[in-house]
Chain A
Amino acid sequence: QSVLTQPPSVSGAPGQRATISCTGSGSNLGAGYDVHWYQQLPGTIPRLLIYANTNRPSGVPGRFSGSKSGTSASLAIGGLQPEDEAIYYCQAFDSGLRGWVFGEGTKLTVL
Chain B
Amino acid sequence: EVQLVESGGGLVQPGGSLRLSCAASGFTFSNYAMSWVRQAPGKGLEWVSGITAAGTYYAGSVKGRFTISRDFSKDTLYLQMSSLRAGDTAMYYCTIQPNHGIALPGWGQGTLVTVSS
A residues apposed to B, CB below 8 Å? 34, 36, 38, 40, 45-48, 51-52, 55, 57-59, 87, 89, 91, 97-102, 104-105
Contact = CB atoms under 8 A, between A and B. Distances in A.
Contact of B57 (A40, A58, A99): A99
B42 to A, nearest CB: 11
Contacts of A97: 59-60
A98 B49 CA distance: 10
A51 B98 contact: yes
Contact of A99 (B50, B93, B101, B105): B50
Given A38-B45, A101-B47, A105-B45, A48 B57 contact: no
Contact of B107 (A34, A45, A58, A102): A45
Interface of B: 35, 37, 44-47, 49-50, 57-60, 93, 95, 97-98, 101, 103-110
Given A45-B93, A87-B44, A99 B58 contact: yes
B98 A34 contact: yes
A4 to B, nearest CB: 11
A104 B59 CA distance: 15
Contacts of A105: 44-45
A100 B105 contact: no
Contacts of A58: 105
